[in-house]
A and B are shown apart, each in its own frame.
Chain A
Amino acid sequence: MATEQAAGEEAARPAGSGGPDGSTFIEVENLGFEYRGAERAALEGVNLAIKEGEFACVLGPSGCGKSTLLNILSGLYTPTSGNVRIANELIYESGRRVIDEPPRVGYVFQDARLLPWRTVRQNLELALEAASWPKAEWSERIERYLTLCGIEEYVDAWPSRLSGGQQQRVSIARALALDPMILLMDEPFSTLDEVTGRFLRGELLDIWSRTEKTIAFITHSIREAVFLADHIYVMTAGPGRILDRITIEMPRPRKYEDPHLTEIEGSIVESVLGHWGYYDQDRAR
C-alpha cells in the first residue's frame, strides 16, 4: 500500500537521476572543509558515490567530520573545496555553490528537534510549508507519513508528551513528508535506550524499503552500520577522510543478533582499530 504511494512520487523526480539499476545519485569528489580559524581541515579529499535507493552508512569516531559532511549535503555549509553532485545536478563546484536552490533533503537529527511549542501536526505543517507543499495536501501527507512511522495517534499532541522514541518517529515522518530527494540521518537512535533503538532500526529498514529513498545515515556504532547498510563508508579523523567502502552482502531482512553480523562487525573493528587511534595508544603505553 505504502509502496504504491511511494511509487507515485517517484515520477516527481527529475529525469536522468539514475534508474533502478542504481547509477550514482550522490557524488562527492575531493571534498574539503575547513572551519574558520581552525588549525586542521575538518574534511579533506572526501570521495563518495552513493547509488539511488541505497542505504549508505557513514561510520566514524566522534569528531571525524561525519556531521560536517552531512551538513554540506544538506546545504547548511558550503565546502571549501571539491564538487558535490546530487541526482546528476552539480550543487557545489570547487567549493562554490553553483545552484540557487539546492535539492530538497529530509534531515533527522540526533535529538528529534521538534519545536516543543507546536503540536506534532504543526511541526509537520511548518516543514511542509517551508518546502512549498500546497496547503491542500498537508493534512493527507501528515496522516500518511505519521501512519507510516506508526505514530498517527499523536497527531495533535505536544511533543513533550511523547517518549524519546515516539519523538524520533515524528522527526522521521517530518523528514519523509517533504518527499525529499535524500534522507540524511545524524545518529538518530544514539540517544534512545537499547530496546527502543533496535526496534526503530528495524522499522526504519521497513520504511526505507517502502519509500525507496536514498539514505545517508551517520553512526559511530559499527554494529548499527552493519545491520542497516548496503555500503559502509568508513571515515577517520584529523582531517576527516574516507578510509574504506565496505559492501554488506548479507541478505535482508537481517537480524540484529545474527552471528554472521557479529562476524562482519568483528572484521571491521579489526580493520579500523589502527586508524581510529587505539593501536597508537597501546604502543605508547
Chain B
Amino acid sequence: MSAAASTGTAAPPEPPGRSLGRRWVRGASSRLRTTGIPVAVGLLTGLAVWWLLSVTETLEFLPTPGAVAEEFGEAVTSSEFYSAMGATLQRIGIGWAIAYTAAIAIGLSMARNWIFEAAAHPYVFIGLAVPAPVTILFAVLALGLGETTSLVALCVVVTPFIVTFIYDGARAIDESYVEMSNVFRFSFRERLRHVIMPQLAPALLSGARFGFAMTWKIVVLVEALSAADGIGERLDYFFAFNQSAAILAWVFSFTLIMFVVEFAVFRTISRRLFRWKRATPGEAGEPAIVA
C-alpha cells in the first residue's frame, strides 16, 4: 500500500495476468464497499422488524430470532438433520436427473419434428398450468404413498418447465453455422460438438438451473404430502406440533445448502461455458488469450 503510494500514479505497467487478477479483486472490493452498506442495512432492518414482531407478540406464532438461532444450532449438530437432508438431496438428485433427461428428449424432439411438437404441446401446456399440489395429490391417489409416488410427482411437476427452456433453445439454433459446417464437411460428431451443442448450452444450463431450483422447492411439498422421510416430512411434523422455531431453522439451513450448490456448481459451469461471451470487443487492453 505504502509502496504504491510512494510511486504515485506513475506506477509501471503490471504484467497482464497479475493486473487482471488485481483489477478483479479491486473491482470486487469496491463493489462490496458500494453495495455492502445498503445490503447490511436492509438485513439488519429486517431482523429488527422480526425481533419486534416476535417479542411484542404481534404475530403470535413467530419465534424470536434468538430462538430460531438456537434451533438452528441444534439442527446442524444433530444426526437427524443430516439423515433428513440426505434423503431429500437424493430425491432432488434422482428427480432432477430424470426430469432433465426427459425434458431434453421431449424439448429437442418438439423442436425438430412438427408432428411431435403438435402432439406434445397440449401436455406441456397442461403440465405448466396445473398447480403442483394437485399433481402431487393425484399421484398419491393413483400410486399410494411411497418413494415412487414422490419421484413421479416431482418429475411430472418439473419436466414441463425445463421442456420450455430446451425447446426455445433448440428453436434458436443459427442455421448459418450449420450451413458452414456442411460446406466444410464437418462429421456428425464434429457438428454436434462444435456447432450445435455450444448453441444449445445456454438453454441446457438455464434449464438445468431452473429445473434444480424448482425441484428443491417442490420436493419439500412432495415430502410433506407423501414421503416418510426428508426435510419436507420433518417440516410437516414440526408443523403438526406447532414448533415454528424449528420450521424456520430447518428451512434456513436447507436454503443455505441449496444456495451453496447453486453458486458452487452452476455458476462455475456457467463461467466455464461462456468464457467466449465475456471476450467481447470494448474491454480493450486485456490480452485476448484465455486458454
Contact = CB atoms under 8 A, between A and B. Distances in A.
Interface residues of A, number: 27
A156 interface: yes
A275 interface: no
Contact of A158 (B183, B186, B194, B288): B288
Interface stretch (A27-35, A41-49, A87-95, A111-119): A111-119
Contacts of A113: 176-177, 180
A-B pairs with lowest CB-CB distance, top 10: A157-B288, A158-B279, A117-B198, A107-B183, A156-B289, A161-B288, A113-B180, A117-B276, A130-B186, A127-B184
A151 to B, nearest CB: 12
B279 A160 contact: yes
A113 B291 CA distance: 22
Nearest to B289: A156
Interface string B160-181: 0000000000000000110111
Contacts, number: 65
11 contacts: A76-B182, A107-B183, A115-B180, A118-B198, A118-B276, A127-B184, A130-B186, A131-B184, A156-B291, A157-B288, A160-B276
A222 to B, nearest CB: 27
A180 to B, nearest CB: 10
Interface in A146-180: 154, 156-158, 160-163, 178
A8 to B, nearest CB: 23
A158 B279 CA distance: 7
Looking at A74, A107, A161, the one whose CB has the most chain B CB atoms below 10 A away is A161
Contacts of B262: none
B194 A118 contact: yes
A116 B195 CA distance: 10
Q: How large is the interface on B (under 10, 10 to 19, 20 to 34, 35 or more residues)?
A: 20 to 34
B288 A105 contact: no
Interface string B267-289: 00000000010011100000011
B187 A130 contact: yes
Contacts of A105: 183
A75 B176 CA distance: 16
A98 interface: no
A276 B109 CA distance: 45
Contact of A76 (B177, B179, B186): B179
B33 interface: no
B183 A160 contact: no
A137 to B, nearest CB: 17
Contact of A130 (B185, B198, B276, B291): B185
A9 interface: no
A116 B187 contact: no
Given A126-B194, A161-B279, A119 B291 contact: yes
Contacts of B182: 76
Contacts of B279: 157-158, 160-161
B108 to A, nearest CB: 19
Given A109-B176, A118-B194, A163-B281, 8 more contacts: A111-B176, A115-B194, A126-B194, A130-B186, A130-B187, A156-B290, A157-B288, A160-B281
A111 B174 CA distance: 13
Contact of B177 (A115, A156, A158, A178): A115
B80 interface: no
Interface string A110-144: 01010111110000001101110000000000000
Contacts of B276: 116-118, 158, 160
B190 interface: yes
Contacts of A163: 281
B288 A115 contact: no
A179 B22 CA distance: 45
Interface centre among A118, A130, A131 (most CB of B within 10 A): A130
